[in-house]
């Protein structure tokens, strides 16, 4: 399978857009001390994290012949790490944007 057949670039930039937009919304909410904007950012972060979790579960189910035979605890730990990765990126991008917004 080639990357363009799997629409790898489209999926990558979609993920990058969600992470960057969520980070920007978080930075604006924190900088402006707006509870509503911060809640929107946190909701978006939960959606991004849930999407990362579901995508990894789909990957396991589709790419391994017997996914039920894999150790579930290992899959859950790896899923949690992968789901946390966008949050880590969001935090650092948001911190950069927040520092740019401060006078």
68 touches 46 (CB < 8 A)? no
Whether residue 1 is contained in a domain is answered as no
CA 52 to CA 67: how far, in whole Å?
Answer: 18
Whether residue 11 is contained in a domain is answered as no
Whether residue 75 is contained in a domain is answered as yes
pLDDT at 73: 85
CA 15 to CA 103: how far, in whole Å?
Answer: 30
Distances (CA, A) of 71 to 5, 51, 55, 60, 75: 31, 22, 18, 12, 6
Q: Per the structure, how many domains does the chain have?
A: 1
Grade residue 23 by pLDDT with cuts at 50, 70 and 90: very high
Whether residue 87 is contained in a domain is answered as yes
Report the chain's mean pLDDT, rounded to a whole number: 85
Whether residue 63 is contained in a domain is answered as yes
pTM: 0.76
Whether residue 56 is contained in a domain is answered as yes
Give the DSSP letter of residue 7: T
Domain that holds residue 46: 18-98
Q: Per-residue pLDDT averaged across 84-102, rounded?
A: 90
pLDDT tens track for 44-68: 999 988 888 888 877 777 777 777 7
């Amino acid at each position: 399978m080639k990357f363009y057949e799997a629409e790898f670039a489209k999926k990558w930039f979609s993920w990058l857009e969600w992470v960057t937009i969520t980070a920007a919304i978080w930075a604006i909410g924190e900088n402006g001390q707006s509870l509503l904007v911060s809640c929107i950012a946190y909701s978006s972060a939960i959606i991004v994290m849930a999407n990362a979790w579901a995508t990894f579960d789909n990957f396991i189910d589709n790419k391994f012949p017997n996914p039920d035979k894999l150790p579930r605890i290992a899959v859950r730990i790896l899923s949690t790490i992968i789901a946390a990765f966008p949050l880590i990126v969001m935090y650092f991008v948001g911190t950069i944007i927040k520092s740019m917004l401060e006078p």
